[in-house]
Amino acid sequence: MLVQLPKFKVLDMPEPASPPGLLRRIVYRVGAHLTGIHGIDDVMEYVVHNHETKAGTCPHQDCLDCIGIDWEIPESDLEHVPREGPLLIASNHAYGGADGLILCTAFKKLRPDFSIMTNKMLFVLPVIRDDYLPLDAFDNNSNTNSQTLRAAMSRLKDGRAVATFPAGEVSHRTWENRSVTDPEWMQSIALMAKRTKATVLPLYFHGHNSEFFQIAGLIHPTLRTMMLARQLLNKKGKKIHVSIGRPISPEQIAAFDDRETLTQYLRGRVYMLADRRRPEPKTHKPLPSHQPLLPEITTADRCADEVMALSEKQRLVDSGNLTVYLARGKQIPNILREIGRLRELTFRAVGEGSGNELDLDRFDRAYRHLFIWNHEEQEIVGAYRLGLTDEIMRMGGVRGLYTWTLFDFDERFLKELGPAVELGRSFIRPEYQRSFKPLMLLWRGISRFICLKPKYRYFFGVVSISNEYAAASQRLMTDFVSSTRMVDDFQSLIAPRTPHQPKHVRHWDMAPFRLACTELSDVEELVRDIENDRQGVPILLKQYLKLNAKLITFFNVDPEFSDVIDGMMLVDFLDVDRRIQNWYFGKDEAAAFRRHHGLEDDEVSPDSSERDADDLTASA
């Protein structure tokens, strides 16, 4: 039996019936074919038929199935969606049809109270009408739009979920901006967020409409609009990827005083997902220039013998089976070889490394090495390299410092500091990185060294940001450190040899992020969002900032070390919070260090060290 399907017309384009209108009828049919209107009518007939003959079908998914569009949102992203409470979903408008259908399909399962603000032309289909709040795409000032805005805010105040495309039109290329992106967002998104105190959920559709669509829009915007139906139909066989960011709380929204800045921030939170890492862990294939690592020393006896040969004074910190030692390179040739192997192994795991079979250089023999030895496992856990500037200057001048290879400075810089320690090449081997304890032990070892040699008030070293981070993550971190920790005391004395040029981050401005990122934890949240929780702010950078370190010149790029971004950080241990001093040094030792530098000791509450230990561990 032939089923008679009801007819629904997306656009009111009556076909001329009279013979004299033959030319008009031909033009109509050609136009309907080119625009895809007839194809959309067929899709809607299919959806209505499914709705009437099959129970429990999703009309939005039916549309996608009829066309042949597949889509994917990672399960980890769906976990970001609040299941209750007012929720405003802000999305780029990449496609102008498929994006709305995917939003409805995905969110109706998670939030049955979901609705979406979209083009009023979709109101022709009764089975999906209840999910839509109609907008007039051709007149932003129409009564329809005002009524819809009020209706959307009413739903949000009732604790429901509403999605919107703040651009109001589909992403496209312009003569001024050749990349495909949303036009300027309307500030109504900020109005809705602030007035309703809703949580805002950023969502990004990857990809865009065809080049033919973009070229047509450059000729005239109306041509672009006429092609939207065809652009929906030509997605047959395509898979559209969607990323969902972390929710933005009402408290974060309230921190913005004006709608324009808030709108830019929300747009940025959406577009930074364009650089979102795929949820699958990335494997690091060796570069062609990378040599195979040397094998591990087959017997630990040689390393253990060197540990036993060290003097008691070189044993700085004990913690269970772990001990921190300090030794010169020439005292520990086998341990130094193993340190070089573990450095390269650890650095390659995060997309860095020298590419050599060992990460050892000409500086290692002259420097001291702080390392953690596991007595039970008979193995190295982690290490730090220390260069004493007064010793190195006597032996080889400024060229004897590793940091001189990355930053251009002369003796005036070191004379201003006085005796100082250059830190570098720190690592914790991968199997110990699940705990913050090894890094804390290394820093306690450094602190113990300061107690023994209190003239070394200043420490400086390079903090690296891997080139494996997305451009947006790199920009957030370097901008935060530059804007909050850079000092100009040494600007005339030191400069990067290969200055870092920030990579272009598409479609968003840093200005509102500077306003929003007042603490490192704010940056951490955004970086984890971009990196899909695979990595946050580098732990060494966190540690330096916890010690009140200052950035003393602009960032450098190290082409010999996988193009990592390096920041030269300076720690004045007299400027470190006294509770942290007490925790690392011990209260009496910290007081002695301050007295050595002519500072009177102030009272610090007895439980402050314990509190700060909790703070330090929590910040890891």
Do 322 and 228 sit in the same domain of this protein?
no
Residue 584 lies in a domain: yes
The answer to whether 379 and 415 are in contact (CB under 8 A) is no
Closest Cα partner for 399 from 420, 385, 414, 384? Answer: 414
Do 259 and 341 sit in the same domain of this protein?
no
Which residues are CB-contacts of 53 (< 8 A; sequence separation ≥ 6)? none
Do 93 and 39 sit in the same domain of this protein?
yes
Single residue among 215, 241, 275 that ends a domain in this structure: 275
Closest Cα partner for 64 from 72, 56, 53? Answer: 72
Single residue among 223, 258, 275 that ends a domain in this structure: 275
How far apart (Å, rounded) are the C-alpha atoms in residues 406 and 558? 7
Residue 133 lies in a domain: yes
Residue 508 lies in a domain: no
Do 440 and 582 sit in the same domain of this protein?
yes
Q: What is the pLDDT of residue 24?
A: 64
CATH number for the domain that contains residue 90: 3.40.1130
Do 44 and 166 sit in the same domain of this protein?
yes
Which amino acid, 18?
A: S
Cα 491 to chain centroid, rounded: 29
Q: What is the pLDDT of residue 619?
A: 40
Closest Cα partner for 619 from 543, 529, 555? Answer: 543
Do 471 and 559 sit in the same domain of this protein?
yes
Do 347 and 209 sit in the same domain of this protein?
no
Do 412 and 557 sit in the same domain of this protein?
yes
Residue 452 lies in a domain: yes
Which residues are CB-contacts of 353 (< 8 A; sequence separation ≥ 6)? 290, 344, 347, 359, 561, 562
Do 373 and 443 sit in the same domain of this protein?
yes
How far apart (Å, rounded) are the C-alpha atoms in residues 140 and 163? 17
Residue 531 lies in a domain: no
Range of the domain at 50: 19-275
Residue 618 lies in a domain: no
Closest Cα partner for 120 from 44, 40, 204, 11? Answer: 11
The answer to whether 555 and 445 are in contact (CB under 8 A) is no
Whole-structure pTM over 0.85, yes or no? no
Half-sphere exposure of 472 (CA within 13 A, CB side): 26
Residue 573 lies in a domain: yes
Q: What is the pLDDT of residue 278?
A: 59
How far apart (Å, rounded) are the C-alpha atoms in residues 209 and 235? 9
The answer to whether 396 and 411 are in contact (CB under 8 A) is no
How far apart (Å, rounded) are the C-alpha atoms in residues 229 and 42? 12
CATH number for the domain that contains residue 453: 3.40.630.30
Which residues are CB-contacts of 612 (< 8 A; sequence separation ≥ 6)? 577, 579, 580, 582, 583
Closest Cα partner for 385 from 406, 407, 409, 360? Answer: 360
To the nearest 5 percent, what fractions of the chain are helix, strand and coil?
Answer: 45, 15, 40
The answer to whether 544 and 480 are in contact (CB under 8 A) is no
Q: What is the pLDDT of residue 354?
A: 78
Which residue in this structure is represented by tokens 């703040």? 166
Q: What is the DSSP letter of 202?
A: E
How many residues comprise the chain? 620
Q: What is the pLDDT of residue 50?
A: 79
> What is the number of domains present in the chain?
2
List the beta strands (DSSP E) in 56-193. Answer: 70-72, 87-91, 115-119, 132-135, 161-164
Do 212 and 310 sit in the same domain of this protein?
no
How far apart (Å, rounded) are the C-alpha atoms in residues 493 and 161? 56
Do 389 and 465 sit in the same domain of this protein?
yes
Residue 526 lies in a domain: no
Residue 223: CB atoms within 10 Å: 14
Q: What is the mean pLDDT of each run of 10 residues along the chain (620 residues)?
A: 43 47 62 66 79 77 91 95 97 94 94 89 63 76 83 96 95 90 95 97 96 92 86 92 96 94 96 76 47 62 93 96 96 95 90 84 94 96 97 92 95 94 95 92 95 96 93 94 94 95 81 91 94 87 95 95 94 95 93 91 48 43
How far apart (Å, rounded) are the C-alpha atoms in residues 191 and 260? 10
Q: String of b and e for 476-508 (b: at least 16 CB within 10 Å)?
A: bbbbbbeebbeeeebeebbebeeebeeeebebb
Do 271 and 308 sit in the same domain of this protein?
no
